[in-house]
Copies of this chain bind each other. A is one copy, B any other.
Amino acid sequence: MNRPTAPTGTPLGDSFHVYDTTLRDGAQREGISYSATDKLAVARLLDSLGVGFIEGGWPGALPKDTEFFARAAAGELELRHAALVAFGATRRAGVAAADDPQVRALLDSQAPVVTLVAKSDRRHIERALRTDVAEAAAMVFDTVRFLVGEGRRVFLDAEHFFDGYAHDPDCALRVLQSAVDAGADVVVLCDTNGGQLPLQLAETVAEVVARTGFRVGIHCQDDTACAVANTVAAVQAGATHVQCTANGYGERTGNADLFAVVGNLVTKLDMPVLPAAALPELTRVSHALAEIANLAPDTHQAYVGSSAFAHKAGLHASAIKVDPELYNHVDPATVGNGMRVLVTEMAGRASLELKGRELGLDLAGRHDALGRAVRRVKELEARGWSFEAADASLELLLRREIDEAETEAPFALESYRVVLDHRADGEVVSEATVRVLVAGERVIATAEGNGPVHALDAALRKALEPALPWLSSVELADYKVRILVEHPGTDAVTRVLVQSSDGEREWTTVGVHGNIVEASWLALCDALVHKALSVREPVG
């Protein structure tokens, strides 16, 4: 096993850890249910930001997590910056670490780093674990030593540390000591119930560092609405490893938000904890991670929320225009966000031009096309479209403005009809009929499917495949639906994201409509047109 156990690419190297636990602790949030495929996508986005460690889950305890590690180990996850971490418990009481199947599962995951969770509050040891402090410490020692012996780097999450330290400091420190004695190189102080406030928490962290000399990490829950503040205060008190989750996802009120913690460390405390190139990606990645979690982005989120730099007060409008730095706590561009009162056409043009370049389109000399594209994007976004996660649709939009003819679809719809029957015998059937013009012919095709979108997709393929044989390689890889209720009482619109694959690459398209089937149709059509373009002008 030669996989990295330290962050690569951050100016601070291994001396400061940004450790993400979205895939384990974040997944505890009510409503989040990641598939193994979702988890791989989340890990890739986090890695692109340059976080140092990505905790992938609890192999052996949750089948989806076991699958995630297996697929990662099989080559589906190439990490450029981060080391992959498996999370798990120490051996059970009275069992040797090597014989505990849960400990074995940590090894089997092939993750180069393991974070073990252990109780450090005497009350939890006695009442929940039903053992004594000596055995709890032995469980930590044995498990850490076993895993270190097997070549793993090991961190210890000391659960309920702050409550435990207040109640019985010797017990809490003894658990840390066992871990360090056995070879763990970070002990993470966890505010598991989230009841801490920053001034006290900073004092405790400083005291623990002074008394033990251990390398200390911090893990905060947001029950007092202080998770971010507590995390930053802990760093100021000596912690050199922060455990966070994307957008603060987590159980109950959530965890410390990775984006706010990083924003604060970098812009307020001048600590380059991520590679410099990653900072302007924070906003985009935050929103993409919300999409994968199927949650609406929090518009009021610090640093990355769409309202984070939106100024409403009429009072200051003109002053803001002259001296924006007097009214923003940081330059929004630092974190890839924008100030909304100043969203001029120029700002829109610049970012679309940049995006175009990223997609291989040179818009630099195309003033008119760029202007039309900016207007079109703004108009569509006002109606609920979002191109943040739908690069393929954005590329089509830009291409259409550059050269309409080049981007012409290889087929045109005349009409479709979808019929859904829940029959008296209980069976549910979906049937779609499409009428399309393709290669100069009018073609009618009918197909059945599991549901309306599946039936429509099947009928469309049946109609087109004789003329467009390359279509058979295109698969619908993922399909996401978001209902957008902007204001209670108004009609909702539906936004559909379709991820397609041809076995070599994946691309995502978007459709928005009051009718979910029509929204899906729009995204499906964009997906096929995008593939058609690559057939016409193969890349590479």
Contact = CB atoms under 8 A, between A and B. Distances in A.
A516 B239 CA distance: 48
Interface stretch (A12-20, A299-307, A347-355): A299-307
A56 interface: no
A300 B253 contact: yes
Given A226-B232, A236-B199, A485 B37 contact: yes
A308 to B, nearest CB: 5
Nearest to A261: B225
Given A37-B485, A451-B515, A420 B417 contact: yes
A352 to B, nearest CB: 17
A198 B516 CA distance: 47
Nearest to A486: B35
A535 interface: no
Given A450-B491, A517-B451, A420 B418 contact: yes
B193 A329 contact: yes
A238 B230 CA distance: 20
Copies of this chain present in the complex amount to: 2
A330 interface: yes
B264 A197 contact: yes
Nearest to A256: B225
Contact of A194 (B36, B233, B329): B329
Interface stretch (A121-129, A178-186, A210-218, A364-372): A121-129
A112 interface: no
A484 B480 CA distance: 9
A30 B419 CA distance: 35
Contacts of A414: 424
Contact of A480 (B223, B229, B310, B483): B483
Contact of A330 (B195, B225, B485, B521): B195
A470 interface: no
A251 B311 contact: yes
Interface in A222-257: 222-226, 228-230, 232-233, 236, 248, 251-254, 257
A483 B476 CA distance: 12
A527 to B, nearest CB: 15
A282 interface: no
A308 B252 contact: yes
A135 to B, nearest CB: 17
Nearest to A192: B327
A194 B310 CA distance: 13
B422 A419 contact: no
Given A197-B229, A316-B128, A485-B479, A515 B452 contact: yes
Contact of A421 (B29, B322, B417): B417
Interface residues of A, number: 114
Contact of A451 (B257, B307, B422, B514): B514
Given A424-B414, A477-B488, A451 B123 contact: no
A540 B485 CA distance: 31
B30 A128 contact: no
Contacts of A514: 450-451
A264 B310 CA distance: 29
Contact of A389 (B30, B124, B422, B513): B30
A361 interface: no
Contact of A268 (B224, B303, B413): B224
Contacts of A322: 127
Given A326-B127, A485-B35, A260 B386 contact: no
A423 interface: yes
A117 to B, nearest CB: 10
A392 interface: no
Contacts of A478: 483, 485
Contacts of A31: 388-389
A134 interface: no
A271 interface: no
Interface string A25-54: 000111101011100000000000000000
A257 B300 CA distance: 13
Given A225-B257, A253-B300, A420 B236 contact: no
Nearest to A319: B128
Interface in A296-344: 299-303, 305, 307-313, 316, 319, 322-323, 326-330, 342
6 contacts: A127-B319, A199-B233, A199-B236, A253-B302, A451-B514, A452-B516
Closest 5 pairs between A and B when the two form their complex, measured CB to CB: A195-B329, A229-B229, A451-B515, A225-B260, A225-B302
